[in-house]
Amino acid sequence: MKAIDLNSIPYKHRFSGASLLISKANKLVGLGHPLKVIDPQKGLAALAYYDMALALIKPFDPNYSTALNWKCNVLRALGQYEDAVEWYSEIIRISDETDGKAKRNATAVLAEEMIQACEGRKNEPLEVNDADAALFDDPPFCMHAEKFCDWLNEGKFSKAHQLLSPALKETFPVPALKTAWQKMTGHSKPEDISLALEQHTVDWPGRKPDEIGWCYFSISTAEFSEAVTVVIGGKDHAFLITELEFGRP
């Protein structure tokens, strides 16, 4: 797949896109009160929006350092002092290359002050929720199958049951789903169970015309190593699980 060349996009369009992202980030954290306590997940989302915007703006655009300064404000609010110092230093570098060290702009002067305030302070622990990091790495039918396995692991057997085809719902009523899962996992706690998609394919022996994909998940802890095999059927992305097998073949 050919990568998009940002240089081929008119800069005014890049800047417009960046402005929307920056506005979104500013609203998330409440611009004007950068050091107030902010929700960590909103702060992390804001950092992501700033980063995407900075990828669109050219470094010598004056708006670049402004957005970078806002990013640093959020880093400080999240207790990420080492990272803030690193990015404040980038603001100073850009100013030095633009105006020279003898005439640093106001943003760079502020960056110097913030470096002095933050230097020597370590990053505080910050829980990063990366649950969506792998989204769309695999075909959509895999996400449907993984949701099913996640709900089983979380004990949400009624929800998992709704993902089954009508025929499979009769084979596996809610109590049967619960029994099959607990028989395989024993008394293991959900947080101790590792669930991973090991294989998936759209072409396998015995595939029926209305079936879309086949998934094989490993289900394991330090005490056991098991698996769940799922076949997904349906039309127009209205997925249903048509076949289900607990345990390794």
Give the Cα separation of 96 and 105 in Å (integer). Answer: 9
Token match 């086949």: residue? 214
Question: C-alpha distances in angstroms, 141 versus 71, 82, 106, 137, 158?
Answer: 37, 41, 52, 11, 20
Give the Cα separation of 82 and 14 in Å (integer). Answer: 30
pLDDT along the chain (249 residues), means of 10: 81 94 90 66 91 95 94 94 96 91 87 93 82 71 92 95 95 96 91 91 91 94 92 82 92
Give the Cα separation of 244 and 168 in Å (integer). Answer: 8
pLDDT score of 81 = 95
- CA–chain centroid gap for 144, Å, is 17
Report which residue type is found at 128.
V
pLDDT score of 187 = 84
pLDDT score of 162 = 95
pLDDT score of 35 = 56
Torsion angle, CA of 230/231/237/238, rounded to 10 degrees?
-80
pLDDT score of 126 = 84
pLDDT score of 175 = 96
- Sketch the domain layout of the chain as residue ranges: 6-118, 140-246
CATH level 3 topology of 6-118: 1.25.40
Kindly give the interhelix angle for 62-77 and 11-29, rounded to the nearest 10 degrees: 20
Cβ neighbourhood burial of 170 (10 Å; 0-12, 13-18, 19+): exposed
Q: Look up the CATH architecture of domain 140-246.
A: Roll (3.10)
The stretches of 130-205 forming alpha helices (DSSP H) are 140-153, 157-161, 166-171, 174-185
- Residue count of the chain, please give it: 249
Give the Cα separation of 219 and 227 in Å (integer). Answer: 5
pLDDT score of 110 = 93
Torsion angle, CA of 156/159/163/168, rounded to 10 degrees?
80
Torsion angle, CA of 124/127/128/132, rounded to 10 degrees?
180
Sheet with strand 225-235: strands edge to edge: 194-201, 211-220, 225-235, 238-246
pLDDT score of 133 = 60
Question: C-alpha distances in angstroms, 96 versus 71, 109, 132, 207?
Answer: 20, 11, 39, 64
How far apart, in Å, do the first and last CA atoms of the chain sit? 36
Give the Cα separation of 175 and 247 in Å (integer). Answer: 18
DSSP structure class, residue 230? E
